[in-house]
Amino acid sequence: MDFVPVNEPLLDGNEKKYLCECIDTGWISSEGPFVKEFERRMSQTVQRRYGISVTNGTAALELAVRALEIGEGDEVIMPAFTIISCASAVTRVGAVPALVDSDINTWNMKIDEIERRITSKTKAIMVVHIYGLPVEMEPVIQLAKKYDLKIIEDAAQMHGQTYNGKPCGSFGDISVFSFYPNKHVTTGEGGMVVTDNEELAERCRSLRNLCFRNDIRYVHDELSGNYRFTNLQAAVGLAQLERLDEFVKRKRKMGKYYTEALKGVDGLKLPMEKTEYADNIYWVYGIVLEPYISVTNREMCKKLAEAGIGSRTFFWCMHEQPVYAKKGYFQGENYVNAERLARKGFYIPSGLALTEKQMERVVIQIKRIMNELCHSAKADRV
């Protein structure tokens, strides 16, 4: 039987039509008309004044950090449990991530532990909405006000998600999105910075394009890279964005299906269906193995692969990254919940092209594997 991939995007809307338009008109570079249109629609969707498209979500984070003039010796608070892009955007400019443990239920950073990480060097809080539920923003906004800190919001996984009815991506001084194929609006590769601040928007535009000076071309006061987004990417993005509501419904339906089917399976902790401020959007359907299950997420993913099911382990914590240990960061730091998620969490096929038949197969295999694992867990305890 065919392998069930962990992610397959859905590209059967206007993607082909708009791409043909690019080719027919010859507009394929970053100068094409779809780029501005995509920036306009995307920023409108998340209620922001400015959208600056870039090559990918990682670049968007780097631009956000640089636009806010975070640099040598500054500190940025962020979750220990996240993707490396968050930490690397900060360490690349010589600033230091101050890590916060995760809430074991929402998997997002523990809000009540942020304040004790604030020092005289803290410049910003990087909020990352992880896997499906948004971070509780209100207390974060209050803290940022109280201590005069910036908020960088990583909404890479949150297209169409809201916090108390307001779109994710509307909360940061700068917020960022990714359009990688596993995000539910994709452009192949791609990202965007959104903001309401005109000066920050202008800085991001400059950083995106080699910091060309506006008055005299080829004269530079500052260095950057080329992070430009192409008309071809924007063509796909526009077609995707047209279907955002449908995609969000589809994600939620998939999440409900898995939860119904896997409820009551011993050894699994399923994702929270909702909080006071949001319904889970199930960017991916994540599962955490209970502590009494002796296998790790890596072993679990291997078993699933042998059964023809694609899956991925959760993120690996920032304070356990070999690259940062080598550089002397995070010495002796521990974050128990984040570490548990990194060792016991995994996600199962959740792409938009996933069929109900495929989901049935995923469920059958998980139940079979968990049945075996629970029997051996019981045998161990006897």
Ligand X SMILES: *Cc1c(COP(=O)(O)O)cnc(C)c1O
Q: Tell me which residues touch ligand X (CB under 6 A).
A: 56-58, 83, 85, 128, 154, 156-157, 178, 180, 191
Please say whether the beta carbons of 200 and 67 come within 8 A: yes
**Residue 154 CB, nearest distance to ligand X (Å)?**
5
**Residue 79 CB, nearest distance to ligand X (Å)?**
10
Per-residue burial over 220-249, b = 16 or more CB atoms within 10 Å of its CB, e = otherwise:
eeeebeebbbbbbbbbbbbbbbbbbeebbe
Angle at 212 between CA 209 and CA 218, to 5 degrees: 125
Of 27 and 347, CB closest to ligand X: 347
Task: Report d(CA 80, CA 83) in Å as an integer.
Answer: 9
Of 128 and 342, CB closest to ligand X: 128
Residues in the chain: 382
Of 57 and 132, CB closest to ligand X: 57
Of 86 and 373, CB closest to ligand X: 86
Which pair of tokens denotes residue 69?
């003039």
**Residue 135 CB, nearest distance to ligand X (Å)?**
11
Q: DSSP character for 95?
A: -
C-alpha dihedral sign at 133, 139, 142, 148: negative
**Residue 292 CB, nearest distance to ligand X (Å)?**
30
Burial of 116 (0-12, 13-18, 19+ CB in 10 A): exposed
Which pair of tokens denotes residue 73?
């010796």
Of 83 and 301, CB closest to ligand X: 83
Of 45 and 85, CB closest to ligand X: 85
Cα 343 from chain centre? 19
Task: Report d(CA 189, CA 243) in Å as an integer.
Answer: 18
**Residue 314 CB, nearest distance to ligand X (Å)?**
12
Radius of gyration in angstroms for the set of CA atoms belonging to the chain, rounded to a whole number = 21
Residue whose tokens read 């692969």: 305
Task: Report d(CA 54, CA 291) in Å as an integer.
Answer: 41
**Residue 265 CB, nearest distance to ligand X (Å)?**
27
Q: Which residue is nearest to ligand X (CB)?
A: 57
Of 240 and 365, CB closest to ligand X: 240
**Residue 57 CB, nearest distance to ligand X (Å)?**
2
